[in-house]
Chains A and B, each alone.
Chain A
Amino acid sequence: MAASARRGSPLWALTISFFVLFVLAPLYWVVITSIKPSSDYLTTPPVWFPAKPTIVHYTAALFSYRGLQGLTNSLVIASAATVLSTVMGTMMAYSLARFQTGGRHLALWVISQRFLPPVAVVLPIFLLFRSWGLYDTRIGLILAYAFMTLPLSVWMMYAYFRQLPKSLEEAALVDGLSRWQAFWMVATPLAAPGVAAAAVFVFIAVWTEFFFALILTSRYAFTLPTIFRAFLGFQGMQYGEASALATVSLAPSIVLGMLVQRHLVRGLTLGALRG
């Protein structure tokens, strides 16, 4: 085929190398800035690698900018929201896939939530949270994120259950198991790889989310991404702190992302493509 001629073509190698550099450049700069002493910021030419690396920005970011509290909040909120969303999503997806519950309408209704502009949803949620006492609480944000990620978990698991054979569950029913037992003891273990992948995608989505957290929290339940507000309009010497915080925040989600690389296409298309 035409591409076989191009397989090792230098033009393509050049293009792809350029793009790889493009991807890595800002990341490299962030990581390097986080370990630079402040005296290395304002220099021409820029310092590509500091002569004396320092971790002082990490301690400042974690303790002076309440990064530690943000980190704890992010971990607690993302974990709890992931469990909630994955459990509810798997249950719903099973019902949709096996019994066509609600015909097409229910599935359609769930996925349409994914495309609502956050600004339209978050305004009324903000007002309601204030009257429900959920504003700036971890519980509030956990529930909001579980809701936000349901389309993802439901649709990923929906696609997964549809490719699992029914026969084992039917055999279990014949053997006298209840519907719930057939789901919990037979279908779910079979779908475990799918559940794990969905959970990781949900976790990453929550971990990196900014807008909901910006609106629904302030001094107490704030997550890691919202701390970057503190560095807005900075002209001074906070590059290091901002970069240290960025590094702390991006490392876990990149590692998790690499783990589910195989499922990436399903995650990005909400199960529509298998990849």
Chain B
Amino acid sequence: MGQAATATPFGPTSAARRRAISAWTDRHFKWLMVAPASLLILVFSIYPMLFSLWVAFVNYDFQIPGHDFVGLQNFQQVIDDPLAWSSLGVTIALSVAVVAIEFVLGLALPRPLVETNRRRGLVMSILIIPLFISPVIVGQSWALFLQRPFGPADYLLSQLFNRPVAISWIGEVPWVYVSIVLADVWQWTPFMFVILLAGLAAIPPHIYEAAELDGVGAFQTFRYVTAPQLAPVMLLAITLRLLDAVKLFDVIFMLTGGGPGTATYTTSFYLYQIGFQQFHLSIATAGSWLFLILLSVVIIALVRRLLRAEEA
């Protein structure tokens, strides 16, 4: 057998071997197909997360050689930092605000679009543009638009109210939140809008016809017909959006830089500052684990929900 293989390397033996390989790949096909992607996730997620778990419990510093075990000290540092708490507060307040506004707008805008197809093409194409723009550019554009004193926003407002308006959109506390919400609503309302529109279009029209025959009013139609039918889609849109909203970083980075002072520090921005500006890598890692644990409750609920949508 071994002799035959050496004697005829390209003969029937190699064909047999090829057949054997092919049979082997067929047998393990489903696992071979998931292997490359799984490997990549292992290398880029599982391994780094395990590594970071270790980093969170030691003193990891580029200057100091050796990594001393410090127990929960890094976690304690984050918990004791008032800025960690205020940035968490800002993150929660901003995400709830933007998701609520985007949801209401996203629900209000598409209603007539479900029915009319006439202007739908062009209007749709314009409305979804923000989804394809880098959040960095969104921040940059709004910084330019709201810029004081020569940006168009203040000018337009002063024309509208017929008196000089000089709002410091980025430098003063209530307005800076308005600016962030504005930029986020600008970018992500189309997200809600597109998903809710799909949900609305899927509601069978005969239900509405029945409601109309019974003389049900517009509000009650929404309350008793649209809302229950749309509930799963609404839930999906809100959770998906909320999970991205809590990561808010890019717009903060470009528009406010966390300022004025630390008024617009979000959790992501706070952890970035700790880790990559002050290079307290272990503290930032510990903080990001705490953040992840907080989020995982929502993440698990959403993943369950997505899986149920698949089964349906």
Contacts and interface: CB of A to CB of B under 8 A. Distances in A.
B288 A117 contact: yes
B187 to A, nearest CB: 10
Given A2-B212, A3-B111, A92-B33, A211 B249 contact: yes
A268 B191 contact: yes
Interface string B239-281: 0100100110110011001000000000110011001100001
A233 B33 contact: no
Interface string B111-149: 110111000000111111111111111101110110001
A123 B285 contact: yes
A249 B112 CA distance: 33
Interface stretch (A18-26, A50-58, A191-199): A18-26
Given A7-B115, A119-B291, A91 B249 contact: no
Contacts of A174: none
Nearest to B282: A123
Contact of B151 (A24, A46, A94, A96): A46
Interface residues of A, number: 108
B32 to A, nearest CB: 8
B112 A209 contact: no
A26 B141 contact: yes
A265 B186 CA distance: 18
Main secondary structure, interface of B, reads helix
A113 B272 CA distance: 20
Contact of B142 (A4, A26, A101): A26
B155 A46 contact: yes
Main secondary structure, interface of A, reads helix
B18 to A, nearest CB: 11
B128 A257 contact: yes
A110 B37 contact: yes
Contacts of B22: 178
29 contacts: A1-B212, A3-B114, A16-B123, A19-B109, A20-B123, A22-B186, A23-B126, A25-B145, A26-B144, A27-B129, A29-B152, A33-B144, A43-B150, A91-B36, A95-B33, A95-B34, A104-B307, A109-B41, A115-B303, A119-B272, A147-B44, A158-B310, A178-B25, A179-B25, A208-B136, A225-B137, A261-B125, A269-B195, A272-B309
Interface of B: 22, 25-26, 29-31, 33-34, 36-38, 40-41, 43-45, 47-49, 51-52, 55, 60, 105, 108-109, 111-112, 114-116, 123-138, 140-142, 144-145, 149-152, 155, 186, 189, 191, 194-195, 198-199, 205, 208-209, 211-212, 217-218, 221, 233, 236-237, 240, 243, 246-247, 249-250, 253-254, 257, 267-268, 271-272, 275-276, 281, 284-285, 288-289, 291-292, 295, 299-300, 302-303, 306-307, 309-310
Interface of A: 1-4, 6-9, 12, 15-16, 19-20, 22-27, 29-30, 33, 41-46, 88-89, 91-92, 94-96, 98-99, 101-102, 104, 106-113, 115-121, 123-125, 127-128, 143-144, 146-147, 150, 154, 158-159, 162, 178-180, 183, 204, 207-211, 214-215, 224-225, 228, 231-233, 239, 242-243, 246, 249-250, 253-254, 256-258, 261, 264-265, 268-270, 272-275
